[in-house]
Amino acid sequence: MAPRYWIKQYGLQRSGTNYSRALIESLCPEARVLASILGTKHDLPDLDAAVARLREGDVGIAKTDLATEDFQEIMRAYEMGELRILVCVRDAVVWMDSLERYRAKRERREPQVLTRTTIEDWVRRWLDYYSQLHDWCESSTLSSSWVVHHQVVRNPEMVVEIAENWGIPCNDEIQRLGYMRNGSDEHSSRFISRQKYRPNQYPEVYSGAGLIALEDVRWTTDLVKSLDSRKLSRNWMWKGASLRRRTSQQLSGDRTE
């Protein structure tokens, strides 16, 4: 089915962008989520420049199954104010844990417990990126929605609500889908590969079984609050954080890989 609705996606690496994109495109066959087209999803928006490059034939990526007509429709949607914006955000503590595990895997090393120096650096990066995105969305005439990763994992129906608010038709039945490994701009439903449900993930990290030491979890959440004078992050942080003093050894046997 040819796309009729275009969604430009943004979010830091390890914020659940691939998962949200796969879920939306599977439940809403007429929608297409743009990852690298119109700028990469991990950068801040610069849509005027991105559309100008697209008009000159610069797609910006090497691999896509979109046709020339699709790119014309994307430009038309932007010019008519019909391009939707989807922002994916992940709780800061869990995002840092996931980012370090991802980097360790890419660098073929063991993940390391994060120092407070690294934590503060990454918290500032997280806050700066999403604060700028928030301000951009507030000033833009384009319709935007924010997806908090742990919320949509537990409640995929949130995607349907977002789509309906945008006037995008969705399938009637919600299925618990896997996630898309491939981050290219080819249609994501072809790449849904395996289940990505770890119900213990957030309690583990917040209880000290992750890569942030237990005594640093509360320090980290307090740091976020102290640096976030505008209190934007209160909508992005995990409200059910458990700070029970359980050791990594106790929790490791409960993990679902």
> pLDDT tens digits for 199-237?
456 777 777 678 998 889 889 999 999 999 999 999 999
Q: From residue 174, how far is each of 20, 51, 161, 170, 197 by CA, in Å?
A: 14, 34, 12, 9, 15
Task: Provide the pLDDT confidence category of residue 38 given band limits of 50, 70 and 90.
Answer: very high
Calculate the average pLDDT of the chain.
Answer: 83
- Alpha-carbon distance of 114 to 140, in angstroms, equals 36
Which residue has better confidence, 198 or 96?
96
Please name the amino acid found at residue 33. V
pLDDT for residue 244 is more than 70: no
Q: Percent of the chain having pLDDT more than 90?
A: 61
Domains located in the chain, CATH noted: 5-252 (3.40.50)
pLDDT tens for each residue of 170-196? 886 655 444 444 555 665 444 443 444
pLDDT tens for each residue of 121-148? 999 999 999 999 999 999 999 999 999 9
Kindly report whether the global pTM for this prediction surpasses the value 0.75: yes
pLDDT (0 to 100) of residue 58 = 87
Contact criterion met (CB below 8 Å) for 96 and 15: no
3-state secondary structure labels for all residues of the chain: CCCCEEEEEECCCCCCHHHHHHHHHHHCCCEEEECCCCCCCCCCCCHHHHHHHHHCCCCCCCCECCCHHHHHHHHHHHHCCCCEEEEEECCHHHHHHHHHHHHHHHCCCCCCCCCHHHHHHHHHHHHHHHHHHHHHHHHCCCCEEEEEHHHHHHCCHHHHHHHHHCCCCCCCCCCCCCEECCCCECCHHHCEEECCCCCCHHHHHHCCCCCCCHHHHHHHHHHHHHHCCCCCHHHCCCCCCCCCCCCHHHHHCCCCC
> β-strands 31-34, 5-10: how paired?
parallel
pLDDT (0 to 100) of residue 193 = 37
Select from 150, 165, 156, 160 the least CA-distant residue to 206.
150
The whole-number average pLDDT for the span 236-242 is 71
pLDDT (0 to 100) of residue 184 = 59
pLDDT (0 to 100) of residue 257 = 36
pLDDT (0 to 100) of residue 101 = 94
